Structure 1
C-alpha cells in the first residue's frame, strides 16, 4: 500500500472489507462488524460503507459483466478490479450519490494505493463508463445466462431452481434475493411480552410492522435496534421470521426434554428454552466447536434461560457418547446446509457453493438424522430444518431417512400463524419470494408408538 489506509473514508473502508471477503474468503457479516468496530464511522458514512459492501457482493456478476465491456479482459490487480466494481455499483444503484463524488474518491483511492499508471487507468475506465453508459443486459439472448448475469447468481443455481420450481417461480426467487434483508426481532417471553416491547419501540421512535409469518415477532422498518436497551437487557433477540418457525412448529411443552442437535449460535436453543417453563423442562444443545458452545451459553444467559440449557461440544453424529436411547420428547435437527435460502443476508455464498456441495451435505444431514433417531421417545417428533431451498438437502434427505426408518412417519408441519397451510405437502418450504424473508425448510418426523 503506497500511503496509509484512511479508515475514516467510507469508500476506502468498503474496499478493504470487500478485499477480505472476495480475496480471503471472510464472511461478509463478520468482516463488516469487525471493521466498523475497529474503525467507527459517523452514521451516514457507516450506512454508505455497508451499502457498498453488500451491494457489490450482491451484484458482483452483473458488475463484472459491465466492467468487462470497458477493460476487454485486461488482467487487473484484485484491489483495482474491486475498486472499479464498487464505483460501477454506486453509479448504477445509488441514485442519491452524485457520479462526480464516486469518480473523484475512486481516483483518489487509486492514487493513494497504486502508481500513476493505475490512477490513469482507473480514471480512463470511469470516464468511459460515464460517457458510454453500461451495456444493456436485455441484449443477452440465452435465458439462463441472462438470469445469471441480471441477478448475479451462478448458472448452476439458475438451472437447479428452474428444474425444481419452474421458470416463473425461479424468476421471482432470483429477483427477491437482491432486495434488502429485513431486520426482525423476536420478543423474549421470559422477560417481557409483545405489547410492552411495542410500547418501548414507539417511545424510542423505532418503526416496525408485526410479522405475518411468526408469532412474537416484529419487522423493524426504521431505527437502530442492536444498540437498544431492549436488546441489551435480553428482552428481544435478532432472528429471521422463517427461522423462528422451526421451533414454533415443535409445539414445545413446559416439561419437555429437548435436544437441539446442531445448535450454534443458539438462536433456536433459546427459543426452545423460553417454552420450558416447568422445572423439569430442559434443552441439551450440541455443536462441534467449543467456541460456539460458549456462544450458545452466552446467548442463553443474556435471554435469562441459562439454567434451562446445557451446551455440549459434540458432533451430532456421535450422540451415543452422551445420551441413552429415548432420552428426548423432541429433537431439532437444524442441519448444516448450503445456505441458499440466506443469499439476501450472505450474498457471497452464491459464488462459493456448488451443486456438489449440496450433494455432500445431503450425506451429512442423513447421517445426523440416523444418529439421533434412536434418541427420541416413541410418539416423539424429530423436526428437521434447513436454511436452503434445494430439494437435494430437504425433501430428498427426508425421504432417504424415512426409507431407512420405517418407524417414523412424516406429519404435516404446522405453525402458529398457519403459514402456507393450504399446501399439499406435509413439509413446509418458505421461498425468499414468499414473504421477503429467508428461505427455509421444515419437516416433522413422528416416531411410532
Structure 2
C-alpha cells in the first residue's frame, strides 16, 4: 500500500465508523445527538479531560470508563437541555453494565464535577496567567504542536482566530447542479420542503442547510444538487474562465467528486476523474448518474504512481492532494488527535511527489491547480515553492489561502501554476 493510499484511508476512517453506527439509529433526534456527542467529545477532549482529572487526581485508567465520563462531562458542560441528573444516571447505568462496582465510582466523579465547576474554572484561569499556550491547549482543546505550527505560519492572533472558528459546528453545504436547475428555482423548492437555508455570499451556487434532512428530499434524488463546502468549490469557482476554455481536465484525486462535478458543469469537453479506492469510485459513478453528467470518465489510478496513459494529454490538472486536513477540523474533529508534526513533513514530501506526476500530464501552456484542505505553510506555500524549484518550466499564476474565520467555511489552499508554452 502506497503512502497515498494509507493517507486516503486514514482520512476517511472516522467517517466510515460514524456512518456504521449512525445507520443503526432510526430516530432522527437520536442520530443528531449521536453526532453531537461524538464530535463534541473529540472537539473538546483536552478540556473534558482537565475536568475529569481535576476531581480524580490520579486519572482514569480504564478507557471504557474514561469514555463514559467524557461523554457525560461533555453533556454537563455543553448540553444545557439535558438535566444533570439524567446525564449522571445514564452514565452510571452504562458503567454498571461493564462492572456493577463502577457505578458508584462514575457517580462520585460526575457529582464532584458538578459541585466543583467554579473551582475548576478558576484553576484554569490561573493557568492562563502563567502559561497562555497551555491554557489555549486545554480551553480550546488542541495539541500544542498545532498551536505552534499555525502561529509560525500566520502569527499568534490569526492562529487564535482560526482555532476558535474551527471549534464551531459546521452547517451542511450543497452545490446547485446548474445543468439541471438554478438558484431561484432551488430555493423555492427548499422553502416548499420546509428546509431552512442560507445562500452563500461568496458563491451563490453554494447553499448552507441550517435545518432539515436534505438528503431525503426528491431534490437530492433528482440530482438538483450535490454536497460541497464553499472552500472546495472555489478551485473552479474562482477560475471559471480557465475551465470554460479547457477541453480535457484531469482530476487526480476526485472522490467524493465535488470539483469533478464543478468542472463538468462548465467545460466544453470532458473530465477524467481518478481515485484509488474502488468503493469511492462506485459512489462517484452513482452520483454521476444521479446528477446526469455525460462528460465525466471515471478511472482507477494511484496519483503517486506515474500513469503513462495521461502523459501530455490535459489542458488542466486538478491536484487536490492528501494532507493533514487541519482546515476540515470543524467536520472532522478527530484530526486534532490523529496528526503529528511528522505527518506534516511526510505529507509535504508526498504532495511534491504527486505534483511531479501531475506536471507530466499537462500539455504545454496547461494549468495545474494544486489545492489542500489544510492550513500552515509547509503543506501549502512550501510545497509550491519546492515544486517550482524542481520544475523550471512552471510559473506561479496565483495562490490563495481560504481562512476559515474569514470565509466561514473549511480552511483551504489553492495555487494556480502554468506550464510554459502554447497549447
Same fold (TM over 0.5): yes
The one of 304, 313, 332 aligned to 2:300: 313
Q: Distance in 2 between matches of 1:250 and 1:316?
A: 23
Query: Pairwise mapping of residues 261-300 of structure 1 onto structure 2 (< 5 A)?
Result: 261-276=252-267, 278=268, 281-300=269-288
Alignment match, 2:4: none
Query: Pairwise mapping of residues 300-379 of structure 1 onto structure 2 (< 5 A)?
Result: 300-305=288-293, 307-325=294-312, 327-379=313-365
Alignment match, 1:216: 205
Greater than 6 Å deviation, 4+ residue runs: none
Superposition deviation, residue 25 in structure 1? 10
SS state of the match for residue 369, structure 1? Answer: helix
Unaligned runs of 5+ in 2: 1-9
SS state of the match for residue 259, structure 1? Answer: strand
Deviations 1:233-254 (A, max 9, x none): 1111111111111122342116
Alignment match, 1:119: 103
Superposition deviation, residue 374 in structure 1? 2.4
The one of 409, 413, 416 aligned to 1:441: 413
- The answer as to 2:389 corresponding to 1:398 is no
Q: Distance in 1 between matches of 2:132 and 2:342?
A: 23
Superposition deviation, residue 28 in structure 1? 3.7
The one of 220, 244, 262 aligned to 1:253: 244
Q: Distance in 2 between matches of 1:432 and 1:196?
A: 29
The one of 169, 176, 179 aligned to 1:180: 169
- The answer as to 2:191 corresponding to 1:205 is no
Superposition deviation, residue 289 in structure 1? 2.2
Alpha carbons of structure 1 residues 255 and 404: separation in structure 2 relative to 1, 3 Å? closer
Q: Distance in 1 between matches of 2:382 and 2:324?
A: 14
Alpha carbons of structure 1 residues 321 and 295: separation in structure 2 relative to 1, 3 Å? farther
- The 8 Å contact of residues 374 and 411 in structure 2, kept in 1 or not, is answered as yes
Superposition deviation, residue 39 in structure 1? 3.0
- Of the structure 1 ranges 307-316 and 78-87, higher mean CA displacement relative to structure 2 is found in 307-316
- The 8 Å contact of residues 330 and 380 in structure 1, kept in 2 or not, is answered as yes
Superposition deviation, residue 257 in structure 1? 0.4
Q: Distance in 1 between matches of 2:72 and 2:326?
A: 27
Q: Distance in 1 between matches of 2:339 and 2:102?
A: 33
Alpha carbons of structure 1 residues 237 and 179: separation in structure 2 relative to 1, 3 Å? same
Superposition deviation, residue 435 in structure 1? 2.3
- The answer as to 2:36 corresponding to 1:51 is yes
Cα RMSD after superposing both structures: 1.8
Alpha carbons of structure 1 residues 254 and 188: separation in structure 2 relative to 1, 3 Å? farther
Deviations 1:26-55 (A, max 9, x none): 844333322121232x23333222211111
Q: Distance in 2 between matches of 1:66 and 1:250?
A: 48
Alignment match, 1:71: 56
- TM-score after normalising by structure 1: 0.87
- Of the structure 1 ranges 60-69 and 262-271, higher mean CA displacement relative to structure 2 is found in 262-271
- TM-score after normalising by structure 2: 0.92
Q: Distance in 1 between matches of 2:47 and 2:408?
A: 22
Deviations 1:332-358 (A, max 9, x none): 000111101010000001101011111
Alpha carbons of structure 1 residues 342 and 26: separation in structure 2 relative to 1, 3 Å? closer
Alpha carbons of structure 1 residues 131 and 147: separation in structure 2 relative to 1, 3 Å? same
Q: Distance in 2 between matches of 1:219 and 1:29?
A: 20
Q: Distance in 2 between matches of 1:298 and 1:92?
A: 42
Q: Distance in 1 between matches of 2:270 and 2:134?
A: 51
Alignment match, 1:418: none
Alpha carbons of structure 1 residues 231 and 435: separation in structure 2 relative to 1, 3 Å? same
Query: Pairwise mapping of residues 61-100 of structure 1 onto structure 2 (< 5 A)?
Result: 61-100=46-85
Alignment match, 1:20: none
Superposition deviation, residue 201 in structure 1? 0.6
- Of the structure 1 ranges 289-298 and 431-440, higher mean CA displacement relative to structure 2 is found in 289-298
Q: Distance in 2 between matches of 1:430 and 1:411?
A: 17
- Of the structure 1 ranges 24-33 and 55-64, higher mean CA displacement relative to structure 2 is found in 24-33
Alpha carbons of structure 1 residues 232 and 107: separation in structure 2 relative to 1, 3 Å? same
Superposition deviation, residue 231 in structure 1? 1.1
Q: Distance in 2 between matches of 1:323 and 1:49?
A: 44
Alignment match, 1:144: 133
Deviations 1:28-83 (A, max 9, x none): 4333322121232x233332222111111110111011111112124432111011
How many aligned positions are there?
A: 405
The one of 216, 223, 235 aligned to 1:227: 216
Q: Distance in 1 between matches of 2:14 and 2:373?
A: 17
- The 8 Å contact of residues 51 and 113 in structure 2, kept in 1 or not, is answered as no
